[in-house]
Structure 1
């Protein structure tokens, strides 16, 4: 019996010492690589073996040697994006791997929680507006998709479950609606192939997407130490980072789009600190500098319906979180926020109009990252308030064509005096400014706009971009 056990042990060791040539699943047939740059490839082989890579767009062969643990990595230059397909051959002189139907173009990471994860087919009893027709027309071999399967772990992982596919009705219906509409507009306007990597999990907190090191200094956030601490993995710090970001970090991208915040809405004061730290550290592990990071502000919704029974001092008005996201955009370099005040739904946390969010993200990228001109891509933002007699005069940035309410009465403004009591206000657009007043407030001190859990935004730029909810005060209530 001991001899058999010893033999089995030696057999297992021998297998471990023989590492088959392998790449993580983020590399596969149908993949799309970032154009005009040096892209990183990595994998495993027998230690000491030389791995060679030959892309069909070049006569050059690129090599790397597997280290003592069997890991190897290298970079290869990519050509300008085009609709020509390529192959990539990989060999270690013992075995070969060939990736077929490879494209080169623009690659974006799509991450966050359920509003990013929500597929084109919708959730049960929660439709996506116009999705069936969009799915029907979605066949496009120049849009490539990969979804990182949900996974969680206490320790960093080195691989995922997922594979690249072409956009077809069958694959698009299962893919992020926000991500798909984003990529579709990029592909149309840039006239190059677009690849989208989806790594999202509904209900996830931002700290679930951060590593142990990233959370150092956030003493109130408890890190898991055992499986007992991970019963709700998507709301447990480090769990999603370890399994859904760490294995793909380094796959060369152009930038990232992000839709998350709903699960952190009751902790708005902490959110900009966490968000800035996460983006900064993601950029470090990707080693691509300050790549673009664009995100959706959470849409209005009746969050009171999901608030904990014991609120324990949290700020349970999601307008505070929207404000925190606005602050995040001011402190995170090369970032931008799209506003969704016009598509929120009081009784559903998942707005059905995903095309608006996806295309607003795309317009921001087309303007800020790709330098296209002639169109608007940012919402106006509150600049300052000046008191004139009994009126508050508000001015705004990013409103070169002034403001509009599309001929409707502005109903989302409130005004308060020194007593901090807010009253519904009369608001009138005066070119690029808004005059706010109320018969009940003779000496205005503060103004708020749509600063509620749920409100339908009614103030826009002339180009059609809604203003975020905002306030002129810094009162906590």
Structure 2
């Protein structure tokens, strides 16, 4: 009996050592999608010095490497044009086989709760039309992966285990609604497999997704020491980068969609610099150049409902929306989806997520995939010209004109040198807006929909809402 127990113990130790010694990064599983026509990295761990052979079925090619002194290894495999399913064979101490691998377009979907909220909704917080969409979601050419939550003070090489899944009601119900609607339209229009990686944490701040090097120009942001406790798991600087983002950096992606900003609303001046710095740093770390980055301008909401119940001045989230608006011209190869028509005063999670994913997909289909012939973007403030008592506002992305759906524009304000804003008369003239007020004889500034909660009433002829804006910097 003692001999059997000893043998069992030895076998258990050996098996445990083998499992620890040879494994793939968590993001590499069966059903995954790899970016087409690229040299895409695959990595894992084995015994130090162990020879690794990776064989891909689409070209029958084998790639050899050796695990370094820490046991890590990496190879870059060449991927063909879209297709599949294929298999990948990884051989070291034993053999790992990944089946049902597709080649297509891979997108990272990241941010806070409005990106994370699943198709089935949060408890008592619905997603409009989700039951029908979930029911019809089975699609062998859309595969989804969710990075598990992890907030830690020390950078991690690997994330917690998860699995790639083929789109079906069971799995789509629990996947990012914004991400799913984005990927669904891409698949419909491009006719290629789509891989979606959801890497989100509700309530997260931008700085939580950044590493110390990315935050080096922000001395006011305190980076926790490795031994510090984490009081706020989603808003402590660097902790989500450490546990959730760093482990997938390097997985070859086509681009990123991002929905975040609500947790930074009270610091718009900082965000104006922080957000572009985050994007720049991510691109440096991915080493894929200026990959497409499409993001969502946060929806209107009454933020004074949230602790610490701030109201007025720059606690008005319109300032954060304006920082995001300005970022389009700062971040190369970017675009912004506007939600000024779908915000909800009573909930920070607007249920109209199909519009969000669709508007992000419009940007990608036009700017990344080059589909022409459709008007894909929201009007964005471009310039102001003042003549006498009238201000003329011009827009980007309004070549086919502007509309208010034949209703009066009620969200424009105008101010003179006293910096006091008054309700303004605003008239559409083709692609410009003429703004005036009998109270302001010598205008110097105009604002549109510059409130915490507001329902936008200005649209492009394409039906997409114009962004809120201000022409001043007060």
Q: TM-score, normalised by structure 1?
A: 0.94
Task: Decide whether the 8 Å contact of 2:153 with 2:228 is kept in 1.
Answer: no
32-41 or 224-233: bigger deviation: 224-233
Change (3 A) 1:164 1:453: same
- Structure 2: how far apart are the matches of 1:373 and 1:14? 56
- Structure 2: how far apart are the matches of 1:342 and 1:227? 45
- Structure 1: how far apart are the matches of 2:313 and 2:151? 28
Question: Partner of 2:169 in structure 1?
Answer: 169
Tell me the CA shift for residue 388 of structure 1.
Answer: 2.6
Change (3 A) 1:15 1:185: closer
Change (3 A) 1:414 1:310: closer
Query: Is 1:193 matched up with 2:200?
Result: no
Question: Partner of 1:4 in structure 2?
Answer: none
Tell me the CA shift for residue 439 of structure 1.
Answer: 2.0
- Structure 1: how far apart are the matches of 2:74 and 2:285? 15
Question: Partner of 2:3 in structure 1?
Answer: none
- Structure 1: how far apart are the matches of 2:275 and 2:442? 38
Matches within 5 A, 1:59-458: 59-82=60-83, 84-92=84-92, 94-160=93-159, 161-225=161-225, 228-309=228-309, 315-458=314-457
Tell me the CA shift for residue 226 of structure 1.
Answer: 5.3
- Structure 2: how far apart are the matches of 1:195 and 1:17? 31
- Structure 1: how far apart are the matches of 2:426 and 2:192? 45
Task: Decide whether the 8 Å contact of 1:144 with 1:196 is kept in 2.
Answer: yes
Tell me the CA shift for residue 14 of structure 1.
Answer: 12
Tell me the CA shift for residue 441 of structure 1.
Answer: 1.6
- Structure 2: how far apart are the matches of 1:439 and 1:174? 54
Tell me the CA shift for residue 20 of structure 1.
Answer: 3.0
Task: Decide whether the 8 Å contact of 1:110 with 1:257 is kept in 2.
Answer: yes
Tell me the CA shift for residue 229 of structure 1.
Answer: 3.9
Tell me the CA shift for residue 214 of structure 1.
Answer: 1.4
Task: Decide whether the 8 Å contact of 2:303 with 2:309 is kept in 1.
Answer: no
Tell me the CA shift for residue 34 of structure 1.
Answer: 0.5
- Structure 1: how far apart are the matches of 2:127 and 2:310? 33
- Structure 2: how far apart are the matches of 1:167 and 1:153? 30
Tell me the CA shift for residue 381 of structure 1.
Answer: 1.6
- Structure 2: how far apart are the matches of 1:281 and 1:13? 41
Q: Deviations over 1:138-190 (max 9, x none)?
A: 01111000001111111111222211000000100100000000000000000
* SS of match in other structure, 1:269: helix
Task: Decide whether the 8 Å contact of 1:307 with 1:316 is kept in 2.
Answer: no
Tell me the CA shift for residue 18 of structure 1.
Answer: 8.8
Task: Decide whether the 8 Å contact of 2:118 with 2:174 is kept in 1.
Answer: yes
- Structure 2: how far apart are the matches of 1:310 and 1:405? 32
Task: Decide whether the 8 Å contact of 1:343 with 1:351 is kept in 2.
Answer: yes
Tell me the CA shift for residue 208 of structure 1.
Answer: 0.4
Q: TM-score, normalised by structure 2?
A: 0.94
Tell me the CA shift for residue 392 of structure 1.
Answer: 1.5
CA RMSD of aligned residues (A): 1.9
- Structure 2: how far apart are the matches of 1:219 and 1:244? 24
